[in-house]
Structure 1
Amino acid sequence: MGSSNSIRFSAIVITYNEEKKIGNCLDSLVNVADEIIVVDSYSTDRTIEICKSKGAKVISQQFLGYANQKNFGIQEAKFDYIISLDADEVLSPELINSIKYISPTSFLSAYEVNRLTNYCGRWIKHGGWYPDPKIRIWKKGNAKWVGDGVHETLELADNTKIVKLKGDLLHFTTDTISQHIDQIQKFTTLAANELHRQGKKVSIAKILFNSWFKFTRDYVFRLGFLDGFYGFVVAFNSAFATYLKYLKLYNLNKSDEKKS
């Protein structure tokens, strides 16, 4: 386990019932990480068993929200350099090689990678889904996760330098269209609740326009049609997610009006 250079990396992954994907994630990390920490939200499947079999340190922690859960894992890290992956992400061979060539003298504040998503067995390279740059490697103390219960973003310290690494981060997002629909239902509810908490308002016209604009931008102007059938599905479902998010917000606002 570990990288071939003198930098020692702690890899952080958060999980909940990820038995189908966590194995491949950890197998790729073994090539570069000197420590793998899995923060698990009390999985009920074989996730913990698989993680331990791969040599990972598993910490059970009630879910704190995506940002706080990841920050909790970073606090537990033994080493100063962090690799942060989601359970459905895998380092490509080229990216593994790039990480191995990072040395203490060349290590800057943060490293960015391109994320390539696999949707129902097809790599999606258009429609705004690629290159999808993500910062996944940084020196401890130079960044922290922030965000609400739905989305988390990495907040960098002032004057942080960002360097692009060669090689893709492979993202195995969903295996079936029905699974994607289930994810959309879950996350649009969370997103609508967060917008409602912030006091956001929306009109029927905005719901319809934003949904139409999302599809047109991703499928036409961002060339989603070049990904064939699944390019259409991705663009349509993304527009549908926009529609649902704002429709649910609209219903929450209407409920408030009835109560007042």
Structure 2
Amino acid sequence: MSTSYNRIAYEALEVCNGVTLQAVEDVLARAAPKPGGRAADVGTGNATVAIRLAMAFGLKVTAIEYDPVMAGLARERIAAAGADVDLVVGAAAEALADLPALDLITALGTTNINGEGRPTPEVGFAFLKTRLAPGGHLLWGDLVWIAEPPPPLRQVAEATNQYTDDTGWKAAAEAAGFEVIWSEVSPQTVFDAYAAAADGAARDWLAANPDAPEAAAVQAVADRVKMVLEFGRPFIGFGLYLLKA
């Protein structure tokens, strides 16, 4: 497949999640990464965060992407930016295992982080802590339940990962041995803008490419994502957490 819903949607976004690039850069500045430090951006998507790690903070960055179609977009963006970023296409757990201890890991909306299916927050954090040098930082971002979801919504949303609320994410991080340095749940307007931009990009592509071989698959995913986010709006948010090992 030459394209997919994710590639189309994420090509239109600055960050591939319900958070702004400015918020990401501001919290990374809190971590004060030293130029030349080693970093990994897990689930790099369109590589925006990986590129900023390299160009704004002077880090030695490995961008990890499981989806080869998305990796194609990441590769194009890295080359266009002239960023010194090493792109690895493969599973996060295996790619991280091949790297030396890291000073910083960024993981925003990453699925199957430890290679064992649907990890709990505690298991995911515990795995990532093993890949960090002492005193290293993890910038974690993921879905947050802002209200108790109906069981069908939880079942659909948690097809790849298990989620929790803001308090639960912090407790899971501390249980894994992290110190919670900073956290924020994105304003719902930011999450809404992310959802609208992704859906708009997909609808525009479908209108321009109705006979493309990928059109049916893109349509199906776009409809499913839109339905989940519209139904789930009172329950779903996006949390950003800066954690120190």
Scaled by the length of structure 2, the TM-score of the pair is 0.38
Structure with a larger share of its residues in helix: 2
The structure having more radius of gyration, on CA atoms, is 1
Structure with bigger strand share is 1
